Amino acid sequence: MKLTLEKTTAKKLYPESPEWFRKVLTETFGDDCFKKKTFEDIKTFEDACEELEIYPEDVFNANDCSDEVAYKKLKVIAKAINQNWTPDWDNANQQKWWPYFKLSSGFGFSYSIYGFDFTFTDVGSRLCFESEAKCTYAAKQFLDIYEQFITIKK
């Protein structure tokens, strides 16, 4: 009898598997398949898609404008970098970080800020981060995609 497993199924089974089965999975799919990644391992949009086990071409469609493509990419990137963390918008004590950009003299990352005891919107809520480190990393690593999202190109 031969058992066939998809890589995505193997990744899901691995954490709860007994040691003997983990060894079989590692021998079959390689050590890197089950290695816990850090947010700094996400260097491209494709890396973010791989982390979330989605196909890049499924994220947007041909009718999307360039800013819509960029926004959809940034949602995927933020979700992957946040590593399953989701903001609790009912918790005013939970810090939620987002990048802040100055546009007056060109486009560049300025700093990270977080929301606190009041609510206002100046970024998409799906683009916030769990920590300042994750926020700053995303802003610097994916600056070109943020620029496509925020600025209007003629």
> What's the confidence (pLDDT) of residue 113?
66
> What's the confidence (pLDDT) of residue 118?
47
pLDDT digits (tens, 9 = 90+) for 28-76: 988 888 887 899 999 999 999 988 989 999 999 999 999 999 999 999 9
In this prediction, residue 152 has a pLDDT band, given cuts at 50, 70 and 90, of: confident
Look up the pTM and report it: 0.74
Q: What residues does each domain of the chain span?
A: 7-36, 37-150
> What's the confidence (pLDDT) of residue 37?
82
3-state SS string for the chain? CCCCCCHHHHHHHHHHCCHHHHHHHHHHHCHHHHCCCCHHHCCCHHHHHHHHCCCHHHCCCCCCCHHHHHHHHHHHHHHHHHCCCCCCCCCCCCCEEEEEEECCCCCEEEEEEEECCCCCCCCCHHHCECCHHHHHHHHHHCHHHHHHHHCCCC
